[in-house]
């Protein structure tokens, strides 16, 4: 029996999950409103103490302006006593490009639970409301520096240019309601209807006027993925990939199916293995395909960060 993959089963973040994308845009709009109204202000210090009561404004809202590193600590932990001063020193040295939020996990256990922390201390970055695991325990400063540099790269790629101490609008100023480009609604409706040509045209129209629009880029990548897998029998496609391990076309389609069914790690590994085994145009095609899958999952996701390292090793 045929087993096509319906778009409604797509479990990915961002452009593929339309409901999640709409929720993320709404969260950003509300955060920007609070920042514009003066309800939320950027701190003058690069280090703040945060509890459950102010986590929304001090971490989540500010993460739409600059990256926030959440340091889950405990006053009973010797490792926390080593790590926290190290992070505070690095935050000061980086001149306000990111905010360190120290959270006492004993006093604010629900924050640690929300991050699903398995150990204390643990550090996470929050970028545009999305958590990004950094490290656990009192790791060496050189390793922390490498992780922070990668975090800053991801933050820049996501358009975060704020700094600690940036001037905020005067309290009481009229909030500016962000305008939603109607072309997004056209694209969303077209995707729901399976009209890939119309969806592609809408996203390309956005990019023609705003070439750096990350949402439109991700949307375009989603449309390409849905077009490639439209009407495909998943079982047959996976069997074809097993039978032809060196076929770029068969492997790319199998990776698409794995991504659509929530197996991002498997999809990345499949294409990176193909990069290792191929040369010339086939290798380039395999590399480009896995890069397109990275766009769909999101640069800030731990799976993508790990896979980028594996891809670099495969290429060089």
Task: Note whether 12 and 72 are same-domain residues.
Answer: no
pLDDT band at 16 (very low <50, low <70, confident <90, very high): very low
Residue 63 lies inside a defined structural domain of this protein: yes
Enumerate residues 6+ apart whose C-beta is below 8 A from 199. 186, 187, 190, 191, 219, 223
Average pLDDT estimate for 6-15: 34
Tell whether 290 and 240 lie within a shared domain.
Answer: yes
Token digits of residue 94: 């980086």
Judge if 219 and 311 occupy the same domain.
yes
User: In this structure, are 192 and 136 located in the same domain?
Assistant: no
- DSSP result, 63-83: GGTS-EEEEEE-TT-HHHHHH
Cα torsion through 304, 309, 312, 313, rounded to 10: -140
The long-range contacts involving 155-158, CB below 8 angstroms and separated by at least 24 positions, are 155/66, 155/67, 155/98, 155/125, 155/127, 157/214, 157/299, 158/127, 158/128, 158/214, 158/299, 158/300
Q: Give the residue numbers spanning the domain of 219.
A: 7-21+180-315
Q: Give the pLDDT band (50/70/90) at residue 167.
A: very low
Task: Establish how many alpha carbons lie within 13 A of residue 81's alpha carbon, considering only the half-sphere containing its beta carbon.
Answer: 4
Q: Are residues 269 and 147 in the same domain?
A: no
Token digits of residue 24 = 């993320």
184 with 311, same domain? yes
> Would 207 be classed as within a structural domain?
yes
Domain boundary at 110, 126, 157, which? 157
Q: 290 in a domain, yes or no?
A: yes
pTM for the structure as a whole:
0.51
Do 201 and 232 share a structural domain? yes
201 lies in the same domain as 306:
yes
- 130: domain CATH number is 3.40.30.10
Beta carbons within 8 Å of 91's beta carbon, 6+ residues apart = 46, 47, 69, 98, 99, 100
The per-residue pLDDT for range 210-224, each reduced to its tens digit, is 887 778 888 888 899
Residue 300 located in a structural domain: yes
The answer to whether the CB of 222 falls within 8 A of the CB of 15 is yes
Facing residues of 104 across strands?
73
| Residue % of the chain over a pLDDT of 70 | 83
Q: Please state the domain count of the chain.
A: 2
- Coil/strand/helix, residue 125: strand
Tokens standing for residue 202:
């809408």
Q: What percent of the chain has pLDDT over 90?
A: 44
pLDDT at residue 15, as a whole number: 34
- Give 86 or 150, the one with higher predicted confidence: 86
In a shared domain, residues 13 and 65: no
Q: What pLDDT is stored for residue 24 in this prediction?
A: 54
Task: Note whether residue 36 is domain-resident.
Answer: no
Question: Does 296 map to a domain?
Answer: yes
Are 200 and 143 members of one domain?
no
Question: Does 175 reside within a domain?
Answer: no
Higher-pLDDT residue of 183 and 273 is 273
Query: How do residues 67-118 score in pLDDT, each as one tens digit?
Result: 999 999 999 999 999 999 999 999 999 989 999 999 999 999 999 998 888 8
**Looking at per-residue confidence, does 205 or 182 come out higher?**
205
236-274 pLDDT tens trace: 999 999 999 999 999 999 999 999 888 899 999 999 999
- Which of 125, 157, 189 is a domain's end point? 157
What CATH number is given to the structural domain containing 304? Answer: 1.25.40
pLDDT band, residue 14 (cuts 50/70/90): very low
Are residue 231 and residue 303 in the same domain, yes or no? yes
Q: Assess if residue 267 is contained within a domain.
A: yes
Q: Which of these three, 157, 172, 190, is where a domain ends?
A: 157
Q: Judge if 214 and 304 occupy the same domain.
A: yes
Q: What is the mean pLDDT of residues 295-302?
A: 78
């Amino acid at each position: 029996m045929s087993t096509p993959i319906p778009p409604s089963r797509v479990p990915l973040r961002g452009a593929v999950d339309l409901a999640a994308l709409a929720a993320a845009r709404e969260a950003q709009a509300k955060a920007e409103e609070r920042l514009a109204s003066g309800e939320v202000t950027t701190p003058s210090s690069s280090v703040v103490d945060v509890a459950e009561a102010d986590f929304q404004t001090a971490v989540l809202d500010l993460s739409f302006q600059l990256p926030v590193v959440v340091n889950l600590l405990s006053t009973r932990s010797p490792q926390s006593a080593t790590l926290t001063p190290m992070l505070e020193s690095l935050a000061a040295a980086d001149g306000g490009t990111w905010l360190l939020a120290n959270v006492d996990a004993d006093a604010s256990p629900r924050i640690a639970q929300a991050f699903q922390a398995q150990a204390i201390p643990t550090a996470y970055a929050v970028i545009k409301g999305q958590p990004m695991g950094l490290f656990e325990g009192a790791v060496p400063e050189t390793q922390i520096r490498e992780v922070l540099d990668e975090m800053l790269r991801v933050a820049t790629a996501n358009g975060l240019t704020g700094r600690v101490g940036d001037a905020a609008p005067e309290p009481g100023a009229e909030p500016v309601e962000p305008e939603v480009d109607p072309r997004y609604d056209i694209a969303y409706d077209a995707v729901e209807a399976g009209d890939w040509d119309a969806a592609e045209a809408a996203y390309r129209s956005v990019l023609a006027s705003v070439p750096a629009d990350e949402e439109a880029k991700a949307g375009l990548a989603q449309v390409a993925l849905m077009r490639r897998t439209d009407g495909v029998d998943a079982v047959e496609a996976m069997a074809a990939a097993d039978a032809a391990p060196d076929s770029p076309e068969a492997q790319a389609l199998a990776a698409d199916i794995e991504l659509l069914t929530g197996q991002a790690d498997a999809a990345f590994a499949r294409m990176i293995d193909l990069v290792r085994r191929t040369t010339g145009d086939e290798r380039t095609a395999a590399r480009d395909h896995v890069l397109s899958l990275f766009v769909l999952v999101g640069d800030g996701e731990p799976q993508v960060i790990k896979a980028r390292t594996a891809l670099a090793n495969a290429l060089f």
